[in-house]
Amino acid sequence: MKRLIVWQKKRWESKDKKCDLLFWKTGTEHKIKGMKCFASRFGSGMRGKMDYLPQENEDSIVRTDVEYTSQRNADTIEKLAERYPFLFTGSIGSSVMGRQIPYIQIGNGDRELFYNASFHANEWITTPVLLKFAEEYAECLRTGAPLYGVDAEFLFRNFRLVMVPMVNPDGVDVVNGGLKSETYEKNAAEIAAAYPDIPFPSGWKANIEGVDLNLQFPAGWEEAKAVKAAQGFTSPAPRDYVGSAPLTAPESRAVYDFTKNNNFELILAYHTQGEVIYWKYRDYEPPRSYEIANYFGMVSGYTVEETPEASGNAGYKDWFIQEYNRPGYTIEAGLGNNPLPLNQFNRIYLDNTGILISAMTLLIT
């Protein structure tokens, strides 16, 4: 029996044609009338030509034209919660420096998802991606408007979406000048000095103690340690140091514990750069994970690939897939050298709105 996911018909205009969209699902097969036009609308075919940009005006809370620090992230989440009282906010834990790692929850449905960003400090542009999505979603709920053609109230009733926009607050502050601690600034500079080929602070990915938070998970950690040691990363570093053991970094441990304490059916881990979606860990192929990855690729214009062997262990996505046999994805947004410039934000955001929405709707069975 066909179950209607989104029954609002919407007309999008692409470069050379128009199409009507109607989302249906039969079993696990998604039938979308005008699929190519939809992919063009959200993907590479319309880059620089879209008639829609993130709604930012004088009333917008989420700034997309400024660098983010841990304080700006925290302040933004607090303001969102004040304006939209149906949002639930909290903290999954704290960083080395004692900074909270806040989350936003939207929805009260039975299907649970988890999106996170800024595991890596110089990939902080992913933080406003999740914050802007939270704001647009919440505003659509407040006004009754559709969220990119999808009934926002439908999403709210059926899903519980949890987002951590900044997993690595201390590290982001190293990159963007928000530490406000001479001691920690000195320690970070000393770590960086041992790796002169890595620019400082722009090349900093790690937490404040020089541990790569996305190489901390118990999924091939020993293999990752050997690979990174062969590359010269055997002690605290701006990037690629796996730590002394899995889950020794408090930020990674917080994400691990938070995941264990919930029942997430799908996770998205946002990174930069490459415009690539990584969907697999070793020989694990969770049900429908490849199908969903290909859909993400179509609506974003990103390529879908298996994680390269040199970086294919000890990541959050790797552990989630190994632990739960459920779909997990690392999304490498944007193109260029990290940290990506803010003038890429609109393109990154528009490339990913289809992923951020369909990650929910594709779970409906």
Active site residues: 332
The token pair at 171 is: 């590290």
Residue position matching structure tokens 């020993």:
222
Question: Among 191, 189, 181, which residue's Cα sits nearest to residue 211?
Answer: 191
Taking the C-alpha atoms of residue 10 and residue 351, their distance in angstroms, rounded to an integer, is 19
What are all long-range contacts of 141-149, with beta carbons under 8 Å and residues at least 24 apart? 141/84, 141/86, 141/106, 142/84, 146/8, 146/10, 147/357, 148/353, 148/354, 148/357, 149/6, 149/8, 149/10, 149/12, 149/21
DSSP, collapsed to helix, strand or coil, labels residue 150 as strand
Return the structure tokens found at 170. Answer: 């201390």
54 and 61 Cβ atoms separated by less than 8 Å: no
H or E stretch covering 9 = strand 3-13
Distance CA 129, CA 69 (A): 14
Helix axes 345-361, 289-300, angle to 10 degrees: 150
For residues 250-270, one letter each, b for 16 or more C-beta atoms within 10 angstroms of the residue's C-beta and e for the rest, the string is: bbbbbbbebbeeeebbbbbbb
For the chain, the C-alpha Rg in angstroms (whole number) is 20
Q: Is 148 left (phi over 0), alpha (psi -120 to 50) or beta?
A: left
Q: Give dist(CA 117, CA 345) in Å, integer.
A: 14
